[in-house]
Amino acid sequence: MAGIGLTAVSLTAQRTYAANAKSLAGTLEKLSTGQRINRGKDDPAGLITSENFRAVLAALDAETRSLQRVDSVANVAESALSEISGLLVEATGLAVSSANTAGFSDAERAANQMELDSIVFAINRIANSTSFNGDRLLDGTATLSAGGASITISSAAASALGEIDIDGTTHTLIDVASGGSLNIANGDLEGTLQTIRAAMNQVATQRGTIGAFQKNTVASQISTNQVAFENVAAANSLIRDTDYAKETAALSRAQVLDQSSIGVMSMINFLRQQVMNALMG
């Protein structure tokens, strides 16, 4: 009877050892991966919820990166318009100085016209060359879209800036260049100042529009996405990540039980050997 009893106890000890070893392995896996759910059987419902959260996080991350790209495009466009605004301030100074005819020679006025021509040329160069990833931004075709809203960036070419009407004739900034009816060498200086100031207002308005779009649409949506990302990530962490305090305690318990199981099986084997020795006399 001793042998039969020892066999039953041995089977129980082996089963307990296998269970303890499995528990220890599971705890070690959770601690090493940092995840409470490593496969579907760990928590089927939790896995489904976690995977849905991960999809939401991926979408929020992609949208935020897209919005940041839009913000970068807007920064490039606004910086170029800022440069054009500075050039128009210089153009205003040239027009005002040329309007004061007293003591101002034709050579000086011609020099001012040359400088004004270079400003118009620079404005056209900026309008034609400003681009982002191969797409031109200041030729009137660029559109910024974010959060369901969009704005179109107007052309910043000289022929599209400073449009005014003088006696039924439409003039633009291009007319202040040499040969134009608003040149400062021999043209209508009052009209020159009007079109330059109109161009300045137009550029300032466009910069304000871009700035408002960045602040109230792009930046606001980025902030909203970041908050949503934090909240969803926190919720996903509660479901999927390992609770290290809990699992560390479980590890200590599993190690004690594992060693105990090994000790019990060793003792059973020793007793079995003692029985066999007694039988063999």
In this predicted model, which residue has the larger pLDDT, 178 or 24? 178
Specify the range with the lowest mean pLDDT, choosing from 4-18, 54-68, 209-223: 4-18
Q: Which two tokens stand for residue 41?
A: 């059987």
Q: Is pLDDT larger for residue 244 or for residue 127? A: 127
Band the pLDDT of 1: cuts 50, 70, 90.
very low
Q: What does the pLDDT average to over 213-225? A: 94
In terms of pLDDT, which residue wins out, 125 or 179?
125
In sequence order, the 6+-apart residues with CB closer than 8 A to the CB of 55 are none
- Pick from 50, 58, 22, 19: which is nearest to 242 by CA? 50
Mean pLDDT of 199-209: 96
On average, the pLDDT of the chain sits at 83
Structure tokens at 17: 């050892």
**Quick check: 52 pLDDT over 60?**
yes
Q: Please give the model's pTM, rounded to 2 decimal places.
A: 0.74
User: Among the listed ranges 40-49, 117-126, 144-153, which one has the minimum average pLDDT value?
Assistant: 40-49
Q: What is the CATH architecture of 66-238?
A: Up-down Bundle (1.20)
**Cβ contacts of 255 within 8 Å, gap of 6 or more:** 24
Q: What is the largest CA-CA distance in the chain?
A: 138
The region of weakest confidence among 91-100, 110-119, 226-235, 271-280 is 271-280
The confidence score (pLDDT) of residue 17 equals: 61
Is the per-residue pLDDT at 256 higher than 80?
no
